[in-house]
Structure 1
């Protein structure tokens, strides 16, 4: 990895000589690395291999010689069958057919090849529905960015300025992160980049749709860099096929070499069993034939079937294998029936255990699961409790495994089976979420009563987990009588929980005076809105203000204002039904809602349109909305156009929009061009737009040429913003209006903007005078970047 040293008194970041991970000293406000590294894809790959086993010796090797992989690795973006661009490749297959093992093989082989030949850079991400850090679109991109930066420190140049401009907010925006990702991937100085995204179908549905839409939009463009290559594996769900069929794609089962891999895998399993159970050659041959007949190319079925044979004597093994049904669903049914039969209890504890494993937002440890399911809690000795729980988990008959003391489903298809129709809904998912929420609240109540009680691992999970499970339970969650004290209007127990929440990462700024309505709004728990409203109806007039749906927290926000800017549109509707008042601040929050701005704004207009006034602040919030700006603005113009005036401040907000500035500005010019004046402030906002500044400036120059004056102040702003591309654009298109003043040169020197300084010296050197002020500005720059040998860049 390249090294960068900072000389002088730089208080933001120091990157020294790195061998492996980046070691940085960053002030708390600029700790960008912690936002990228919630999960480490390299460690995730190792854990996946331990869980599923790596490729059997002699398998998967053929994939590197296939036409599809050869074209994907090719030196130039070619056109495949039916004019499909080969920069994206989709490999798909049914559950258990070895997609992830193939992805592991490719990741390891390509990483080794690129390391030895310097032929490219590889990044990968293994999605997993069981981890909340590995099943979202933002997590995928952050994991890929983390690996790219680890391998090429120079790529930080695309990240750090944007992070310094926007802080932690940057890492909540998929569009902003995707823009950085594609720019890093396209960087010519660091060569070709290859990314593998495994098990896309394990992302939540919203993230899945986001990634698919972005892949389509990005790679349909003829301008995408040939340096960018992405391979996706997933199940062939219709919604995934609809998006990815425009790219080269292949069913893994259709490769003729795949059957050879299946036979090798069977041989490995049979030899292992034969050595353990001392099979004769005849028995070995019979087992081999039955496995080949029933496996149907499914590695997972082979592994599970052989797992069922490990304790069967050789005299019975053939009969046992013959009784194991074909197909994963039939096999899971048999395993489930056997586990229920072997269970010492009525089966409710077994169902509860599986339910917790299925719906938990991250894998629980063995002890956490014991506490969640209240297994062996009467056993005070932790070692004994742990042993008993291990034994109970083993009764799940291969559906659940223990890895690194965490309890995991063996495969996602098991979750699909347990919550789907194949098992007659053995687990009701909404009820499972509700039950886990109740258990979490019970634990929090007990701990709030006893300050000396130790804080167990599951209590940490309960702190943030109960509210999320309550939301996901939907109508299955109701306030239990036994938990009334937690949900009272004035609840010391809930206030104790809120203090604990504020100590957790990401909730430090949660306001005080946070009512039960605010809790409902923050976490999207509709059932709490109805509960709180009913509590209010029971209070006297004197007490009623304490449970008013329009009460404000310490920051002055009502629950509805809080909800209007949240990820949970349903909670907005619930609060409106209970009398939530639609103020200007509520409408403004909806207009600026990154996640569901259009949906929430449409809901407010449908329900309360005659009460709503679209102020300049509301329109500004829509114009600056970095995720939904265009759609929210279009909705406002369609539904409330007669109330809207496009002021300079609105245009400025659109020009500086770092998520979709070009689209919002284009919309305003198309729909309201006669109202728009392009002031210096608008041009400066475009110049300072790190993500879309170049595109916005080009749009303004094309559409508003006669309205734009490039003042000295604008040029100084561009010089100080490190945006050499915009400077090039202006010099090329409006060079006759640009004067390089002493102030501009001083600004460049003070910012140590070597690219712009070099550009101006090359193109306008005769206009530049190095005055004392310029020298002082350069001398005062203590954040000078130098290369690893100490020389200036």
Structure 2
């Protein structure tokens, strides 16, 4: 992109501004003087800003904040155990250990664990770059391999603008289709590997959460992770996922792979869940004005039935938040231990809804969602609901139906 082309994209220069006065003296960008340097810097920053806009699907930093807020905040006590874990320390401290796979069953707290690790790496006093991405199967903008690469590259070049030349080299000949057409993966993986082998790249830490929620291009992404973790010495990876055989098979291809199984660290996870329960019960007691006996009963029931699963606690507390204090102890017995039994109870509630119209709607939606090739995003769910006569398909209504 030339200076003139970039200039055509720029906003008008305010009257009396420094740049207007510079232009009035016919200063040429690139000339060996301070005014020319200012103009060069201005155009360079504007050009980089335009490339960042093109790369961006979402800002992974905003995704992280949203996830933490949705889950009720990040508790340091719920993740700090991993910092002393031998597998994590081996990844962090040893040069040949370049890929850490954190794996565990649903609801074990993998996402919040990675949020905590990101916080710790960000606060480390070193010159490393940190780039990360959170996959979510229900959001079409962050559930595919192309989006993952765009997010990782976005954070890398935002922190190290000199790396933008690799984006520019690929983008300038073709423009916007570069990152959106059928060959987007090819173009982005080339940009990504060029960045990783750039001699000016500082040590880099790359983190991807929930590989199992990458519903399109997962195998391509896994192959790229394995390849880059084996070749580029200054780059280290952390990835998380459920215990999926396809992920295990792919990651086994690298000898630098370290596995951190949450099931094999049951005691540490259970202790973290206990801290999480205490925090949630404190909130419920304040919110619903529990007396001492009710608060104690809630904490004891959650502790006895959580089975080391954050998600079970979160789902039960979500229901208790809507339950008056005087009904709370009686309602506790309605929550069976374990996610499978809890999900079965939720299905029974749907099947036994007194409002037969709502029951039919829920059944139709669940039947469709169970038959489709991949998880349905909220905007796609709108198309299903819209096909049912008399049901509004606005965002608020769709969100309420989904909940």
Task: State yes or no: 1:105 paired with 2:113.
Answer: no
Task: Structure 2: state its 5+ residue gaps.
Answer: 11-38
Q: Which one of 178, 184, 191 corresponds to residue 180 of structure 1?
A: 191
Q: CA RMSD in A?
A: 3.4
Task: State yes or no: 1:142 paired with 2:111.
Answer: no
Contact 1:352–1:373 (Cα < 8 Å) also in 2? no
Which residue in 2 is equivalent to 1:667? none
For 1:215 and 1:58, the matched residues in 2 are separated by 30
For 1:250 and 1:119, the matched residues in 2 are separated by 26
- How far did residue 137 of structure 1 move? 1.3
Q: Which one of 238, 245, 267 corresponds to residue 278 of structure 2?
A: 267
For 2:364 and 2:87, the matched residues in 1 are separated by 45
- How far did residue 322 of structure 1 move? 2.6
Which residue in 2 is equivalent to 1:229? 236
Change beyond 3 A, Cα 1:339–1:292: same
Which residue in 2 is equivalent to 1:470? none
Task: State yes or no: 1:348 paired with 2:360.
Answer: yes
Which residue in 2 is equivalent to 1:492? none
3-state SS of 2:200 partner? helix
Deviations 1:425-478 (A, max 9, x none): xxxxxxxxxxxxxxxxxxxxxxxxxxxxxxxxxxxxxxxxxxxxxxxxxxxxxx
For 2:194 and 2:99, the matched residues in 1 are separated by 16
Change beyond 3 A, Cα 1:38–1:342: same
- Equivalent residues in 2 for 1:728-747 (5 A)? none
Contact 1:266–1:288 (Cα < 8 Å) also in 2? yes
Task: State yes or no: 1:242 paired with 2:281.
Answer: no
For 1:9 and 1:37, the matched residues in 2 are separated by 23
Task: State yes or no: 1:63 paired with 2:71.
Answer: no
- Equivalent residues in 2 for 1:87-106 (5 A)? 87-106=98-117
- Equivalent residues in 2 for 1:622-701 (5 A)? none
Which residue in 2 is equivalent to 1:42? 61
Q: Which one of 350, 360, 365 corresponds to residue 339 of structure 1?
A: 350
Normalised TM-score (structure 1): 0.41
3-state SS of 2:290 partner? coil
Which residue in 1 is equivalent to 2:162? 154
Comparing 143-152 and 317-326, the one that deviates more: 317-326
Contact 2:143–2:214 (Cα < 8 Å) also in 1? yes
Task: Structure 1: state its 5+ residue gaps.
Answer: 1-5, 79-85, 402-793
For 1:22 and 1:318, the matched residues in 2 are separated by 60
* Structure with bigger gyration radius: 1
3-state SS of 1:24 partner? helix
- How far did residue 373 of structure 1 move? 4.1
3-state SS of 1:58 partner? helix
Deviations 1:739-758 (A, max 9, x none): xxxxxxxxxxxxxxxxxxxx
For 2:367 and 2:299, the matched residues in 1 are separated by 35
Which residue in 1 is equivalent to 2:72? 53
Contact 1:136–1:203 (Cα < 8 Å) also in 2? yes
- How far did residue 48 of structure 1 move? 1.9
Contact 1:127–1:134 (Cα < 8 Å) also in 2? yes
Contact 1:12–1:25 (Cα < 8 Å) also in 2? no
Q: Which one of 108, 118, 123 corresponds to residue 131 of structure 2?
A: 123
Contact 1:185–1:192 (Cα < 8 Å) also in 2? no
Deviations 1:238-267 (A, max 9, x none): 111122245101112433432221111111
Change beyond 3 A, Cα 1:229–1:374: farther
Q: Which one of 307, 310, 335 corresponds to residue 324 of structure 1?
A: 335
For 2:91 and 2:84, the matched residues in 1 are separated by 11
For 1:10 and 1:326, the matched residues in 2 are separated by 66
Which residue in 2 is equivalent to 1:722? none
3-state SS of 2:240 partner? strand
Q: Which has the higher contact order (CA 8 A, sep 6+)?
A: 2
For 2:100 and 2:40, the matched residues in 1 are separated by 37
Task: State yes or no: 1:193 paired with 2:204.
Answer: yes
- Equivalent residues in 2 for 1:400-439 (5 A)? 400-401=402-403
- How far did residue 140 of structure 1 move? 0.8
For 1:327 and 1:363, the matched residues in 2 are separated by 27
- How far did residue 228 of structure 1 move? 0.8
Change beyond 3 A, Cα 1:373–1:214: same
Contact 1:357–1:363 (Cα < 8 Å) also in 2? no
Q: Which one of 202, 212, 216 corresponds to residue 222 of structure 2?
A: 212
Which residue in 2 is equivalent to 1:257? 268
Aligned residues: 361
Which residue in 2 is equivalent to 1:734? none
For 2:390 and 2:120, the matched residues in 1 are separated by 44
For 2:40 and 2:137, the matched residues in 1 are separated by 36
Normalised TM-score (structure 2): 0.77
